[in-house]
Chain A
Amino acid sequence: DAGVIQSPRHEVTEMGQEVTLRCKPISGHDYLFWYRQTMMRGLELLIYFNNNVPIDDSGMPEDRFSAKMPNASFSTLKIQPSEPRDSAVYFCASSYSGTGLYGYTFGSGTRLTVV
């Protein structure tokens, strides 16, 4: 099992540019989560999907953020246009409902720096 795979690991971009973060969940997992982590606010849930359908996007900070899950093995989080305050580590995580509420498996994260 390769775990949750995120790309890129690091992204440095200029303010105003579009940024796309990618995630491949663990095969067979039916829940996928996007989190953002900063020193000040800790881990914040942005959006989560169940069977590729967005369930709760109340954590998405503003319209500049969007997320898609076109199939069970791929999801993207897009920021357009990016701003310096978007600098953070973005984690993708997945979970399987068949084991109950047992917690997530996180990917390695994407460290985003917007300059």
Chain B
Amino acid sequence: QKEVEQNSGPLSVPEGAIASLNCTYSDRVSQSFFWYRQYSGKSPELIMSIYSNGDKEDGRFTAQLNKASQYVSLLIRDSQPSDSATYLCAESSGTYKYIFGTGTRLKVLA
């Protein structure tokens, strides 16, 4: 049974700080990884995707992938109260069948 593990949180950070969200996965053949943001009562929306080891930056967001350690993370720089949401990690082993973690709730304190 493939699994994606996330700390449920809440992770509280002050406004302007860096928020670091972590995710581990069990399937060594996992190829693609995704970070989704979900506001309370809303649907998940895609923030970042990453396929290769290393870092991928998009604005204030940086995704980091380490396949040897089966670890993927999302850094949010200059965190804003509007970033307060649940962040879902998902993985795919080459198909469209994604496995989602249960999410980490982030609270950015003004």
Knowing A101-B92, A101-B94 are in contact, say whether A106-B100 is a contact too (CB < 8 A).
no
Interface of A, helix, strand, loop or mixed by DSSP:
strand
Report A's interface with B, CB cutoff 8 A. Answer: 31, 33, 41-43, 45, 48, 50, 55-56, 91, 95, 97, 101-109
84-106 of chain B: CB within 8 A of chain A: 88, 90, 92, 94, 96-103
Given contacts A101-B51, A104-B98, 17 further A-B contacts (CB under 8 A): A31-B96, A33-B96, A42-B100, A43-B44, A43-B100, A45-B97, A48-B97, A97-B96, A101-B32, A101-B92, A101-B94, A101-B96, A104-B46, A106-B43, A106-B44, A106-B45, A108-B43
Chain B window 43-58, contacts with chain A (Cβ cutoff 8 Å), 1 for yes, 0 for no: 1111001010000000
The interface residues of chain A lying within 8 Å CB-to-CB of B101 are: 42
**CB of B25 closer than 8 Å to a CB of A:** no
Knowing A42-B102, A42-B103 are in contact, say whether A105-B46 is a contact too (CB < 8 A).
yes
User: A-B contact count, CB below 8 Å?
Assistant: 48
The interface residues of chain A lying within 8 Å CB-to-CB of B45 are: 106
Q: How far, in angstroms, from A56 to B98 measured CA to CA in the complex?
A: 12
